[in-house]
């Protein structure tokens, strides 16, 4: 395993951004920016041992700043949506930025995806760290967060560790856009399995309505493997609301998800200790240029964002996202890669 630090550019406000190339002995390579702990490249081998970059990304820091979609970034303090940007904790109401229509999304106007993090080499990868001050984007408590990005045993591992000086809420995820065919074309043909019997119905703004219906008999059912495109344009209410898939699934067991490309044999398996995973099929990704001149567009990738349930602070019946003062938050998500040669 080796780590190489490379200069990537400067943000519009003059902050220096570096790229850390992590190379493992088993053939996986990753490039991670200290801007947002952003996974810029993730190279694995296909069934013919050809290298394939399975995540979408950009060549310049300007593109990361100017394009929407959180490509590859670590998002927080609270990933996904909070209704009306409001929540009550210990009897006090907190008001957050409304940066997604009537809702708060992915930490607000300047979430963790826009921070330049500190970085240091560790065994098998890089440890990124940052401090979010009390009141940052409206959240209570000074929060110290570390994200370790490591490559080991054919997988990229993301470990999150956080401590807050006050009670607060946390929900961290990585927002990588995966295309196992290397970013060419859409992901309708990708084969997906989700170990989830229930999902969360959304309104047209992407916020959970509170309904948690069964996937059985609906376009949301991936309990047995089938192509993502099979029902993505159906008249099912859930996919119509999002113009595709953009819903939280209630994870029954690990692996939470398995994605497979019949074209090149690459298989990605997702293992997490979080209760939910957001399946997003890049329904709102506009046409744009990506790395090395690649053409990205609508449904050119899928995201599998491991997480607490969206807006769970306003639903006490769901698993809690509250981090008590002085307590440690630890969570790990692993994206592992293998080959199906059939």
CB 213 within 8 A of CB 196: no
Minimum mean pLDDT range among 122-126, 151-155, 181-185: 181-185
Which of the four pLDDT bands, split at 50, 70 and 90, describes residue 183?
Answer: confident
The catalytic position among 106, 175, 190, 308 is: 175
Q: Could you tell me which CATH number the domain at 2-339 has? A: 2.70.98.10
Q: Are 161 and 330 in contact (CB under 8 A)?
A: yes
| Residue 44, C-beta contacts closer than 8 angstroms, at least 6 positions apart | 27, 28, 51, 52, 54, 266, 337
Q: What is the pLDDT of residues 121-140, one digit of tens each?
A: 999 999 999 999 999 999 99
Using 50, 70 and 90 to split pLDDT, how confident is the model at 105? Answer: very high
d(CA 318, CA 22): 37
Is residue 29 part of the annotated active site? The answer reads no
Contacts of 14 (CB under 8 A, 6+ apart): none
- The predicted-structure confidence for 274-320, as pLDDT tens digits, reads as follows 999 999 999 999 999 999 999 999 999 999 999 999 999 999 999 99
Q: Name the active-site residue from 305, 308, 315, 317.
A: 305
d(CA 237, CA 319): 26
Whether residue 41 contacts residue 30, with contact meaning beta carbons closer than 8 Å, is answered with yes
Confidence of residue 156 (pLDDT cuts 50, 70, 90): very high
What is residue 64's three-state secondary structure?
helix
Contact 75, 173 (CB under 8 A): yes
Q: What is the pLDDT of residues 189-221, one digit of tens each?
A: 999 999 999 999 999 999 999 999 999 999 999
Distance CA 15, CA 35 (A): 9
* Three-state secondary-structure class, residue 112: helix
Contact partners, residue 143, CB within 8 Å, separation at least 6: 77, 131, 132, 136, 162, 163, 164, 165, 168, 170
Rounded to 5 degrees, what are φ and ψ at 195? -85, 70
Q: Is 305 a catalytic residue?
A: yes
């Amino acid at each position: 395993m080796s780590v190489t630090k490379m200069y990537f550019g400067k943000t519009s406000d003059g902050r220096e951004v570096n790229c850390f190339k992590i190379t493992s002995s088993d053939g996986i390579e990753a490039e991670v920016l200290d801007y947002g702990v952003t996974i810029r490249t993730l190279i694995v081998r296909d069934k013919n041992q050809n290298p394939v970059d399975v995540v979408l990304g950009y060549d310049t820091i300007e593109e990361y700043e100017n394009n929407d979609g959180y490509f590859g970034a670590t998002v927080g303090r609270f990933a996904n949506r909070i209704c009306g940007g409001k929540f009550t904790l210990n009897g006090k109401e907190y008001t957050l930025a409304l940066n997604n229509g009537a809702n708060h999304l992915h930490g607000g106007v300047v979430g963790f995806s826009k921070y330049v993090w500190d970085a240091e080499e560790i065994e098998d990868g890089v440890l990124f760290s940052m401090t979010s001050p009390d009141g940052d984007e409206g959240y209570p408590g000074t929060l110290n967060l570390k994200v370790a990005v490591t490559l080991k045993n054919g997988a990229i591992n993301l470990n999150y560790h956080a401590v807050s000086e006050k009670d607060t809420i946390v929900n961290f995820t990585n927002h990588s856009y995966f295309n196992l065919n290397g970013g060419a074309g859409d992901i309708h043909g990708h084969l997906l399995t989700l170990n989830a019997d229930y999902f969360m119905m959304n309104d047209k703004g992407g916020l959970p309505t509170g309904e948690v219906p069964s996937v059985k008999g609906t376009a949301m059912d991936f309990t047995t493997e089938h192509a993502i495109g099979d029902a993505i344009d159906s008249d099912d209410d859930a996919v119509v609301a999002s113009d595709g898939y953009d819903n939280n699934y209630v994870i029954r067991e690990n692996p939470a998800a398995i994605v497979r490309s019949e074209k090149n044999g690459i298989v990605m398996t997702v293992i997490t200790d979080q209760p939910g995973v957001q399946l997003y099929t890049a329904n709102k990704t506009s046409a744009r240029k990506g790395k090395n001149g690649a053409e990205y567009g609508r449904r050119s990738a899928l995201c599998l964002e491991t997480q607490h349930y969206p807006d769970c602070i306003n639903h006490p019946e769901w698993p809690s996202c509250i981090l008590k003062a002085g307590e440690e938050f630890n969570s790990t998500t692993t994206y592992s890669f293998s080959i199906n040669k059939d």
